[in-house]
Amino acid sequence: MIQFSIEVYASEAAPDDTEQLLKDIYGNRAELYFASNGDFRLQYKHSRGTRVDADADYFFVGKDYLYSTNTLNRKVDSTNITKEPAQLLAFTQLNNERILGKDCECYEYKAIDNYKEPAIFTYCFSPESPTINPEHYTNYKHFFLGDFFKIAQRPYVKFSYQIEDYRVTFTATKLIEKEVNRALFRIE
């Protein structure tokens, strides 16, 4: 299980309510759980249930969708993850960062998103983190996550998504290797 703090930043060019909307959507922390078979769940904490808010995202190995739940309106949305909506322009290994007291490798994907705007996706991982099987994620194209997992063979300890108007960054504050209860992966 990985606990993340979430930071949001809105540029001066963004509409006035952008930063608050992002805080409402993402909250200020999240927890990422991986099952031994590769399924994962990203649980947002302190989300306020806005119109576009997801309480949790679920990925199931062998499925082509990321499922997002919203308990406020009892809704489940799905996103096809087999197609990357962004067009990759450049891939770069960045300088290492210290996260959780560990030296972490970082990679940047510069792209044009599906709205034809520049986007930057940044992932960092610790070589000391538990491994994952990248074969589980070969069809996961969305946000270049499957490609990152192929390189890292570990979960990310930092993820950032940036466009012109805003940036959202997930940074690990705790990483615990433990058996995960399969009930966490049940969508209700």
Reported as a single tens digit per residue, the pLDDT across 113-138 is 988 999 999 999 999 999 999 999 99
Q: Is the pLDDT of residue 48 over 60?
A: no
Q: Of 65 and 72, which is predicted with more confidence?
A: 65
Backbone CA torsion sign across 121, 158, 147, 55: negative
Residue 119 is which amino acid?
A
Confidence of residue 23 (pLDDT cuts 50, 70, 90): confident
Q: Is the pLDDT of residue 49 over 90?
A: no
Tokens of 30: 């999240």
Average pLDDT over residues 62-86: 89
Specify the CATH number of the domain 2-185.
Answer: 2.50.20
| SS3 category, 23 | helix
Contact 68, 187 (CB under 8 A): no
The secondary structure element, H or E, covering residue 78 is strand 75-80
Question: What is the per-residue pLDDT for 72?
Answer: 73
The full set of domain ranges for the chain reads 2-185
Task: Report the distance separating Cα 2 and Cα 176, nearest Å.
Answer: 6
Question: What is the per-residue pLDDT for 71?
Answer: 72
Tokens of 53: 């808010």
Q: Of 23 and 54, which is predicted with more confidence?
A: 23
Reported as a single tens digit per residue, the pLDDT across 170-179 is 999 999 998 8
Question: What is the per-residue pLDDT for 22?
Answer: 87
| SS3 category, 12 | coil
Q: Is the pLDDT of residue 53 over 60?
A: no
Tokens of 28: 């200020």
Q: Which of 51, 43, 35 is nearest to 136 (CA)?
A: 35
Lowest-confidence range among 73-87, 91-105, 154-168?
73-87
Confidence of residue 46 (pLDDT cuts 50, 70, 90): low
Question: What is the per-residue pLDDT for 73?
Answer: 73
Question: What is the per-residue pLDDT for 51?
Answer: 42
Q: Of 27 and 106, which is predicted with more confidence?
A: 106
